[in-house]
Amino acid sequence: MPIKIYKIVVFASIVFLLSGCEDYPVYSSFMMKEHRAKLSCIKIASFDPKLTSRLTKDFSAITKQKECKYSLTGYIHHVDTCTNPQVKSLGADFNGYVRLKVLYGDRLFYRIQSDFKNDEVSALKRVIKTMKKELF
């Protein structure tokens, strides 16, 4: 009997540990509460060529009109580029984060972010998936 319980505890522990690996939450917020309707268009205005390429691919089905008032920008930040000694001494359980912002004209409309540990591609996928669900 004790061996059976031991096997169950070991199995449950392994499942718990594996299910939690690299599962970072996605944080999003609407900054302009008066505009909660679904968007029909968006312009991609990112300055990072790698990010622009990915966003263009993932948002290709969404109408991109030149006169669209909504623009999408963002960046991928790597913590190892931080030079603050206090931050470096504390360590981090992530390597960086992906942050995207939607502007309405020149005002911040929506922001979304997710941390990552050695897998910025998965973080970007999480952010884009959540963003599409909330905005389109």
Query: What is the tens place of the pLDDT at every residue in 85-100?
Result: 665 555 567 888 999 9
Q: How confident is the model at residue 10 (pLDDT cuts 50, 70, 90)?
A: very low
Give a yes or no: residue 13 inside a domain.
Answer: no
On whether residue 16 sits in a domain, the answer given is no
pTM for the model stands at 0.74
pLDDT tens-digit series, residues 67-120: 889 999 999 988 876 666 665 555 567 888 999 999 999 999 999 999 998 899
What residues make up the domain containing 83?
23-135
Examine residue 15 and state whether it is found in any structural domain, yes or no: no
Better pLDDT: 43 or 9: 43
Residue 12, pLDDT > 50, answer no
**Is residue 1 situated within a structural domain?**
no
> Number of structural domains, the chain?
1
Residue 53 falls inside a structural domain = yes
Least-confidence region, from 9-18, 33-42, 122-131: 9-18
Domain-located, residue 12 = no
Whether 81 maps to a domain, the answer reads yes
8, pLDDT greater than 60: no
- Could you give the CA distance from residue 61 to residue 88 in angstroms, rounded to a whole number? 41
